[in-house]
Amino acid sequence: MHLVRTAVCAVLLWSSQAAAECANPEQFQAAQLRQFHYQLQVAALNCRGDDPSLPGKWQDYIRRHAALLADNARTLKAYFKSDSALDRHNTVVTNHESVAVHETPGYCEMRAPMFDKVLTLTRHQMSDYAVEQVPSPDNVRACGEAKKVKKAN
């Protein structure tokens, strides 16, 4: 597990250096939403044994917020400058969340209610909810913030 955490931290450092530019408010909010999106995805995959309804709720969430997620991907692609850089960022965020599944007590119990919530939200409410859930997205800093580098434990 320590090796996985070290590898994830190394990739986080590399990814943060690749996206050294600061994010404007729209880009920062897009990073918050995308990270929340991947939290839901990882929970749907990893917590289905505890709650078999999660994969179906995940699909309902994708259908309900498809336009928002498409706009979100375009905004992040502009920030990261390429599909490959965005893909690397998304992989890092997803891997980080996959580690959290095993290191966070009550992970599934904490994430499961979020599915019911997101299925009731409008586009604007969804963005606001994601901001509440992810106040500081991984490897994206808002313009005006001091640079922060994640370090291995």
The predicted-structure confidence for 12-62, as pLDDT tens digits, reads as follows: 444 444 445 899 999 999 999 999 999 999 999 999 999 999 999 999 999
Burial class of residue 40 in the structure, from the number of CB atoms within 10 Å of its CB (0-12 exposed, 13-18 middle, 19+ buried): buried
How do residues 64-93 score in pLDDT, each as one tens digit? 999 999 999 999 999 999 889 999 999 999
How do residues 98-130 score in pLDDT, each as one tens digit? 999 999 999 999 999 999 999 999 999 999 999
CB 153 within 8 A of CB 5: yes
* pLDDT tier, 1 (very low <50, low <70, confident <90, very high otherwise): low
**C-alpha–C-alpha distance, residues 15 and 89, integer Å:** 6
* Number of neighbours of residue 134 by Cβ within 10 angstroms: 20
Considering the entire predicted model, what is its pTM? 0.81
